[in-house]
Chain A
Amino acid sequence: MSRDLNNPFSPFTGRRCPEGADEGRRQHGQTMALPLTCLPASSPRERGEESLPRAAAPFLGFARLLRRHAFAIAPEQTTSFMQAVTLLGPRSMSDIREAALATLAPSPDRRIEFEAHFRAHFYADARPSIAGEEDEETRIKDDRGTREEESQDPRQEKGGELSSAREQLSSRDFQRDADGLGAFRRRVASALPARRSFRTIRTRSRGTLDLRRSLSEIVSADGDIPSPQLRRRQTVPRKLLLLIDVSGSMKLHTSDYLKLAHAAVQSADRAEVFTFGTRLTRITSALRIRDRDQALARAAVLVDDWDGGTRMGPTLLAFLSVPRFSAFARGAAVVILSDALERGDHADLETAMRRLSARAFRLSLATPLAGDPRFRPATAALRAILPVLDDLVDGSSLKSLTDFILSLARPAPSAEAIWKRVS
């Protein structure tokens, strides 16, 4: 390891310096006579920014540019970037590009954007035009790369209309518990179905022998065998995956569903939320914002297909075709909040649901239509997917939905059996 990494003075920011007072003087130039003992290091390279070769400036600038565009670049990554460039020669621009890719590690989703910035910075291209990937049938949007700072309250102005809007919001906040989500928030984390983890916990009863702890007991008791120490495999809650239909036919319910999703993300350990209509959007990190109104406002911006049509089958297939996303479904409790009114051919929907149920621990569909006592799963699409569903439940009110989610850990007869009995 090169000793540069231990350099107390970050060449990138030029800010971190053991002797803070000394910094200003050094920036004024080296003409001032400084007592040598004041310098943090003796070699010129370690003394600071002004002693970096001039050619290093573009690399620092590039890291700064990336950081401005919400790439997470750590100072040590910048250091390794410059070390890498030095190691490679660099003999060509492609050396620099590869060094940047290897050390600054842009996530593969943002690779195109990264390359555009690279060209803009090092080839002095025009401003990068970063367009979304248009080639996919179903557009997938992942909110991961977005900046947390943007989530701050946008209503900063002190205008009359705006403050009245704020008042309205806070009054709504006041009624938070009126929708029963407070109780849901408190209980959901412990009410989710559990699985046995590979890790073990100490226990006094019902467990297997913990050899390590028993042995140390035996040794400390000088060869006597006191009561054996036991351990048991820990149980951890399963993941919760919510897929929310935001198409026009669900208009009345989406805002309730999002509130529910926010409560779930806030309290459950591992919850993921996606919306789908004609596109698929991941809104989990938007919902991680604590304040509900801010979180929902942020989610609203992310989703492009509010109140449009539904292409439930294709969007769910798109969900499954991204390995990262379909891994969320593996072993999870999957709850789809939709009326499942698929226009036209439902073959895609059937395939998607079958694949989902093969991955999920429990696959449930909550439809607002089931709030009507006369509801029967009569549409062709619903009849086709009924055999793979674990539950088909009423999603018309928050109350019934929260009750259902809190009961996910309890076994229930399959959806097909229940609805056969009814009809």
Chain B
Amino acid sequence: MTRADAEQIAASPEAVAARLAASRYLADDGLATAIFLAIRLGKPLLLEGAPGVGKTEAAKAVAELLGRELVRLQCYEGIDAAHALYEWNYQRQLLAIRHAGEHEIDIYDDRFLIARPLLQVLRAPEHRVLLVDEIDRSDHEFEALLLEFLSDFQISIPERGTIRAATQPIVILTSNRTRELAEALRRRCVYHWIGYPDAAREAEIIMLRAGDVAEATARAVANAVQQIRARPLAKPPGIAEAVEWANAATILEKGGNPWPEAFRRAIGLLIKDEEDLSAIAPELGRIVEESLA
């Protein structure tokens, strides 16, 4: 797929939103606009938001929308170039040297090069989308490395020279905002903050994502989750948890548990912290009753 194709797919924010919906991802106007702009301006897209609001899912949906493969780079503290860019397969190189004996052998051949996500994307920018997940977990050194990659889209391998992307790849970065990213990185990106959706949209998402959940159930779950999020919890439930809760409650209900009871029993899929559970337990019955009404 060429760049022109990508631009054709992203004809307008509405077209992007419609295509995202076709790949089962409901984006609000802001997110659809940000994705549209990222594709058209050829800039990386930086998505920030609380855990569980669907940042990674958004990246997957964008890859699907463009019909490209998603290459994911999960960041962690201490991630370095060997994990992000490339690595030589030393064992094979040594074996090859042994095997070659007196013959000449190029040990920096392609077959000894292990391409890590950034290099993988550089090699086929028109077939791959790069997702740099949870960049806030990496340290500042890696952020600087990434900054260089994002501005030039090239990697220098001392033994091989510089590898440059034929066209500009599409890059999505996500962050949970556990620390502030460098201003230089934010500046280079199209930025979008994903918040929790409102009850109506969340109900739609649950309907779309869960297996076979009745509309009334989805709406009740969305309402209840909104109320639970408003409380001071250590870990407010994300959208993924809400979907699982709706699924689990539906299964329990089919197994013979009446409605409010099914929600209460499945609560372990929504709230996964013992203290939060005990804090919410006294009110849970009332919240569920109100949401069902």
Tell me which residues across on chain B come within 8 A of A77, comparing CB atoms: 187
Known A211-B90, A215-B90; contact A84-B178, beta-carbon cutoff 8 A: no
How many Å lie between the Cα of A355 and that of B192 in the bound state? Answer: 31
Tell me which residues across on chain A come within 8 A of B177, comparing CB atoms: 108, 323-324
Q: Are B41's CB and A2's CB within 8 A?
A: yes
How many Å lie between the Cα of A187 and that of B27 in the bound state? Answer: 52
Tell me which residues across on chain B come within 8 A of A351, comparing CB atoms: 275
Tell me which residues across on chain A come within 8 A of B43, comparing CB atoms: 80
Q: Are B94's CB and A215's CB within 8 A?
A: yes
Give residues of chain A (282-315) contacting chain B, Cβ–Cβ below 8 Å: none
Min Cβ gap A331→B in Å is 9
Tell me which residues across on chain A come within 8 A of B40, comparing CB atoms: 87
Q: Are B179's CB and A87's CB within 8 A?
A: no
B176 close to chain A: CB less than 8 A: yes
Binds B, one of A93-101, A147-155, A245-253, A401-409: A93-101
Q: Are A218's CB and B232's CB within 8 A?
A: no
Min Cβ gap B161→A in Å is 17
Q: Mark A224-266, 1 if CB is under 8 A from B, else 0.
A: 0000000000000000000000000000000000000000000
Tell me which residues across on chain B come within 8 A of A218, comparing CB atoms: 94, 97
Q: Are A94's CB and B178's CB within 8 A?
A: no
B53 close to chain A: CB less than 8 A: no
Q: Interface size bucket, B side? A: 35 or more
Q: Are B187's CB and A76's CB within 8 A?
A: yes
How many Å lie between the Cα of A319 and that of B172 in the bound state? Answer: 30
Q: Are B90's CB and A84's CB within 8 A?
A: no
Known A80-B43, A98-B29, A320-B234; contact A88-B13, beta-carbon cutoff 8 A: yes
Partner of B168, one of A1, A74, A102, A355: A1
Q: Are A105's CB and B93's CB within 8 A?
A: no
Tell me which residues across on chain A come within 8 A of B90, comparing CB atoms: 211-212, 214-215
Give residues of chain B (28-52) contacting chain A, Cβ–Cβ below 8 Å: 29-30, 33-34, 36-37, 40-43, 46, 48, 50-51
How many Å lie between the Cα of A317 and that of B179 in the bound state? Answer: 19
Prevailing SS type, chain A contact patch: helix
Tell me which residues across on chain A come within 8 A of B187, comparing CB atoms: 72, 74, 76-77, 105
A190 close to chain B: CB less than 8 A: no
B107 close to chain A: CB less than 8 A: yes
How many Å lie between the Cα of A218 and that of B187 in the bound state? Answer: 44
How many Å lie between the Cα of A223 and that of B177 in the bound state? Answer: 49
How many Å lie between the Cα of A120 and that of B191 in the bound state? Answer: 22
Q: Are B88's CB and A94's CB within 8 A?
A: no
Min Cβ gap B67→A in Å is 22
Tell me which residues across on chain B come within 8 A of A197, comparing CB atoms: 77-78
Give residues of chain B (49-93) contacting chain A, Cβ–Cβ below 8 Å: 50-51, 76-80, 88, 90-91, 93
Report which residue of A2, A103, A218, A321 has the largest number of chain B beta carbons within 10 angstroms of its beta carbon: A103
**Which residues of B are at the interface with A, using a C-beta cutoff of 8 A?**
13, 29-30, 33-34, 36-37, 40-43, 46, 48, 50-51, 76-80, 88, 90-91, 93-94, 97, 107, 141, 168, 176-180, 183, 186-193, 232, 234, 275
